[in-house]
Amino acid sequence: MTMKKLVLFVFAILTISAIFQACDDSMTYAEMKEREDDAIADFINKENIKVISQSEFYANDSVTNVEENEFVQLASGVYMQIVDKGSDNPADTVKNNDVILVRFMEYSLLDQDTTCSNLSYPYYVDEFKYTVTSSSIAGIFTEGIFLATYGSSNTAVPAGWLVPLEYVRDGAHVRLIVPSEMGHNPAMQYVYPYYYDIRKYQIWK
């Protein structure tokens, strides 16, 4: 391929990319929400997930049947599967100002690809500080792959990650489908849903 043809080829690719980006930017919020809802529904269908109600979840002692691939749809819009509740000690719950270490994988339901994960690094975990006030709960990343991927302007832990902490204890393993409004800043900005496999919530002591 000559240099002139190569330049024209690259220009054509950039033009096509710009057109697709422009189309994406022209979507209304309602259209992006519809796209998100479709992506979540497709993922649930493809993964043969059995969705149970919150009342069914509570009636079953706040557990999900992993063998039946149950996920509970919570009031927040988050879908949660508790693979392992964690410690048998009822006192081993997350408390204000605790530092939490997590091992996780993030998968974009729209891109259908893993976008962020520390599971390939056996001795590397992400860390966040959990805080509780009279009106809210929050988590702030202090180090890890998440910060390396999304940058220091995105330190807030996705709200969807904090939802399971009400139901599990130290060392828990959960899987989540997190809609954009319960996700990180880029998820909210671009209306992207994510699937998470959080292998461990470990309270640092």
Give 8-49 pLDDT, tens digit per residue. 333 443 343 443 344 456 899 999 999 999 999 999 999 999
Domain membership flag for residue 159: yes
Domain membership flag for residue 6: no
Q: pTM for the whole thing?
A: 0.86
CATH label of the domain that carries residue 125? 3.10.50.40
Domain membership flag for residue 9: no
pLDDT in tens, the chain (205 residues): 443 333 333 344 334 344 334 445 689 999 999 999 999 999 999 999 999 999 999 999 999 999 999 999 999 999 999 999 999 999 999 999 999 999 999 999 999 999 999 999 888 899 999 999 988 999 999 999 999 999 999 999 999 999 999 999 999 999 999 999 999 999 999 999 999 999 999 999 7
H or E stretch including 172? strand 172-178
- Return the closest-CA partner of residue 66 out of 80, 51, 83: 83
Domain membership flag for residue 59: yes
Residue with token string 């520390």: 118
Judging by DSSP bridges, how do beta strands 137-143 and 126-132 pair with one another? antiparallel
Give the range of the structural domain holding residue 62, as residue numbers without chain letter: 29-204
Domain membership flag for residue 16: no
| Number of domains the chain is built from | 1
